[in-house]
């Protein structure tokens, strides 16, 4: 009986906070730091699933080319439904729009993902980089790896 009452209360509260069928939304402010120079731009991709993360831009929810100022880059992803997200970042120093590779598999330009996992031989997973947007604003600091 208590469990049933708690479930009913939960549904009522969810209905109040989501009145009119509107999704609850927030913003993700991204700051990329520890850039080795200000050449080119930073490509920041936002994902809402592990499909294609972090290498496929076609599978990203949104992609931005952000200018570098004083060794850092900032952008704001607005009006995102609450949920799970991950960010992939590339410092495209030569501005050719792609990740350049050494020896055919190792990035020769800076790369990083949200949560700043240590770089390894394989790209980080969505789970390692996953963020939870559950408030009006989330500020994420990503440190570039070279």
7 part of a folded domain: no
Give the range of the structural domain holding residue 38, as residue numbers without chain letter: 23-143
121 part of a folded domain: yes
Q: What are the Cα distances from residue 26, in Å, to 6, 14, 15, 59, 98?
A: 27, 17, 18, 21, 30
Contact, 127 vs 50, CB < 8 A?
Answer: yes
pLDDT digits (tens, 9 = 90+) for 22-73: 789 999 999 999 999 999 999 999 999 999 999 888 999 999 999 999 999 9
Supply the CATH number for residue 117's domain: 2.60.40.10
pLDDT band, residue 21 (cuts 50/70/90):
low
3-state secondary structure 58-78: HHCCEEEEEECECCEEEEEEE
80 part of a folded domain: yes
CA dist., res. 146 & res. 144, Å (int): 7
Count of the separate structural domains present in the chain: 1
| Mean pLDDT of the region 109-117 | 96
2 part of a folded domain: no
113 part of a folded domain: yes
1 part of a folded domain: no
96 part of a folded domain: yes
pLDDT over 80 (residue 119): yes
Contact, 86 vs 129, CB < 8 A?
Answer: yes
At 125, list the tokens. Answer: 């997973």
């Amino acid at each position: 009986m208590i469990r049933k009452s708690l479930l009913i209360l939960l549904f009522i509260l969810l209905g109040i906070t989501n009145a009119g069928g509107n999704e609850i939304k927030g913003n993700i402010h991204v700051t990329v730091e520890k850039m080795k120079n200000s050449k080119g731009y930073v490509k920041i991709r936002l994902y809402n699933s592990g499909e294609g993360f972090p290498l496929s831009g076609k599978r990203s929810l949104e992609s931005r080319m952000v200018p570098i100022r004083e060794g850092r880059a900032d952008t704001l992803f607005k009006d995102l439904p609450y949920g799970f997200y991950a960010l992939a970042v590339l410092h495209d120093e030569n501005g050719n729009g792609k990740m350049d590779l050494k020896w055919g598999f190792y990035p020769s330009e800076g790369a990083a993902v949200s949560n700043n996992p240590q770089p390894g031989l394989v790209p980080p997973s969505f789970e390692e980089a996953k963020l939870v947007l559950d408030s009006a604003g989330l500020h994420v600091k990503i440190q570039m790896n070279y």
